[in-house]
Structure formats: structure tokens, C-alpha cells
Structure 1
Amino acid sequence: MPESYRPHLRKDDAPQRTSSQSVVSNTAPGRARVSEVLAGKDVTLYTISPEQTLHRAVEMLRDHRIGALLVTDIDAKLVGILSERDIVRKLADAPGRTLPHRVEEVMTRAVETCAPDDLLRDVLQRMTDGRFRHMPVLEEQHLTGLVTIGDLVHFRLRQLELEALHMKQLIVG
């Protein structure tokens, strides 16, 4: 019998039911990308040249209240990263004589980077495995941002708050 001839049934009057558990709701956090984090934060890039002194770097870190500077050459190409941790290591090696050193003597040259389309869970795993807290974002070899472990945690907490709100709405109605 064709569907158009089906008689009206009681279930036709029932409101459509929803489910709090679905493939989308259970996998959405795993599909979040770096670009989503960058969209919700100030993407000002604080850079320093390799020839600058650690004194200048420390002033920039203090003034901008940040934990790392991107080290770029004259063409704005990423050549390293200088973190508070790098400075502390140098301070331990040369107490009282640290600030006159050049950034290029202390910076981390082997910089781990990511792309805007990278999955957050992969970036977070790389940061955790490598024991670092800052990762520059490159798009076609151009700096487009910097994500920190704090950015990723804050983003995930906002996601969890939104999920909790959705659950509350489903329960309360």
C-alpha cells in the first residue's frame, strides 16, 4: 500500500523526541580545530628579532603579560621561540649576567608548529608529549597566531559549559 494511503496513527500526533547522546554530540570536541580557538582570542603576535637582548625580551614579556615571544627574521619568518622557561634556564647558567645575552643564544630553534586546520586534540597531545606550552600557528609558512595550553583548556571548558547548558535544557524542558 502506498504511503499516501496510510491511515492516521496516534504516533503521528506525538512530539518528535530528541536524544542527548548522538554521534555528533559525542564526537564534536574531537573535531574542534585550531582555527576555532584563534577565532575567539586576540591574535596579536608579539615578535622579537634574534639580535635583541634578553633584557628587551623580558620587558616585552612583562609589558604584554605573556609567556613567550615569537622570534622572527627581517622577512617575518619564524626562526625560533623564546619562552620564560628558556630565560630561566639561561639565568641558572649565567646568574647576574643573563640580560645582556642575545635572544638567538637562548631561544628554542626547533619550534613545533601547527596549522589552523589541525585538530585541537592532536595539538594538545603534541604539547603534552613535548612538554611545552606555546605553539605558533602557520598557514602556508606565514605566522597567523599562537596557541597556548591555556587557550586550549579555556576553549574546552567553554565547550563543556555549553554542553552542560544543553543537557540542563533537555532535562528541564
Structure 2
Amino acid sequence: MKIKDRPEFRSKAPVLTFGPDALVADAVAVMSEKNYGAAVIVGPDRKPLGIVTERDFMRRLLNKRMNPDKTTLSQIMTTELKVARADDDLLDWLRLMSNERFRHLPVVDDEGIVISMMSQGDFVSYTWPELLGRLGEQAKATFDVSPSLVLMIAGIAVFAASVVTIFSQLR
């Protein structure tokens, strides 16, 4: 499934963006008011330069006792930014976000301009039935499950249950 196919992608509020010279205090005020956990730092062309998250405020600002009224976002933003495209596979990004431990994913258009921001929370709505259905499809494509294989597995399960029963009666 592509990112753009998710209802969350189509219903997202506009991406919260700031320029690199914006003050942390101003960004925190807007993010708090609008209940945003992250904002994308963009240049004049709206192409992403970095991202700032609640974690950045804690680790790079508060932990270093920097003054939010004098610190710019460029001083604390994460610059190793990963960006997706709307046509990218959702499960690939979900896996990468989980493995690399980041929660916000800017989505850019063909020119590299930010058009959306997806979060792990948006991807969590990809429900278990959908995931299991997709895994089942992939398993079918990968393995040809023959009736003899199913009978063999069932036979092993019956044998194992019989052995457990016999040994429990011998005690």
C-alpha cells in the first residue's frame, strides 16, 4: 500500500513549517497551541532543511540549558532528515521508522517540496487485519502450501500432543 492511499494522508492538516532562523520559543508556542509534535524547517523554496521535535527541545535545548528566547531552530534541529514520497510503500517506511526510532516523516512532492507529514501514529491505524491480510498474500506468493504439507504438520502436532499426554500420565 502506498502512503498516498491511506485516509490519514488525504485528511492531514497542513504541515507546520518554520524557517531556520525562527526562535525556539516562538516555535514551541505555535506547536503547543496547535498540538503538533514536530515541525519541518524549510528554506524559502519550501524544501526541507531539517525537522524539530519535542525530543530535540528536550535533548538539544533543555538538557544543554540553552535559552529558547535566543536559540534558533537551526541550532537544535535534526538535519539527518528522512523524507518520503506519496508513492512510497507504507510498510517499508513503517519498518524503517521502527528500526531507526524516529516518529515523524515528511512527505515531499517531485520537486522536493514538503506536502505532508506522517507520523507513526498515522501508520498505526494500518490495522492488524490489514497487516495480516498483506502478510498472508506475501506468504502465498512465496510458498506453495500443498495439502501434504498441511497433513504432515497436523501429524506432527498430534504426535507431540500424544507424547506429552503419555509422559504426563507416567509421572
Give the TM-score normalised by structure 2.
0.69
In structure 1, runs of 5+ residues without a counterpart are: 1-31, 164-173
Aligned pairs for 1:18-57 within 5 A: 32-37=1-6, 38-57=8-27
Task: State whether structure 2 residue 91 is matched by structure 1 residue 93.
Answer: no
Q: Which residue does 2:154 correspond to in 1?
A: none
Task: State whether structure 2 residue 35 is matched by structure 1 residue 62.
Answer: no
Report the aligned-residue RMSD: 2.0
In structure 2, runs of 5+ residues without a counterpart are: 134-171
Amino acid at match of 1:126: L
Q: Please, which of 105, 115, 118 is the counterpart of residue 88 of structure 2?
A: 118
Q: Which whole-Å deviations, capped at 9, do the CAs of 1:140-168 have from their partners, x for residues lacking one?
A: 112121100000002x13865xx8xxxxx
Amino acid at match of 1:84: E
Q: Which residue does 2:116 correspond to in 1?
A: 145
SS in 1 for 2:107: strand
Amino acid at match of 2:127: L
**Offset, 1:77:** 1.4
SS in 2 for 1:93: coil
Task: State whether structure 2 residue 116 is matched by structure 1 residue 131.
Answer: no
Q: Which residue does 1:19 correspond to in 2?
A: none
Which runs of 4 or more aligned residues in structure 1 lie more than 4 Å from their structure 2 counterparts after TM superposition? Answer: none
SS in 1 for 2:4: helix
Q: Which whole-Å deviations, capped at 9, do the CAs of 1:77-106 have from their partners, x for residues lacking one?
A: 1111000100011201116x2442100000
Summarize the Cα distance change of 1:39–1:132 in structure 2 as closer, same or farther, 3 Å threshold.
closer
Summarize the Cα distance change of 1:39–1:85 in structure 2 as closer, same or farther, 3 Å threshold.
closer
Contact 2:45 2:113 (8 Å CA) reproduced: no
Identity %: 25
Q: Which residue does 1:75 correspond to in 2?
A: 45
Summarize the Cα distance change of 1:35–1:56 in structure 2 as closer, same or farther, 3 Å threshold.
same
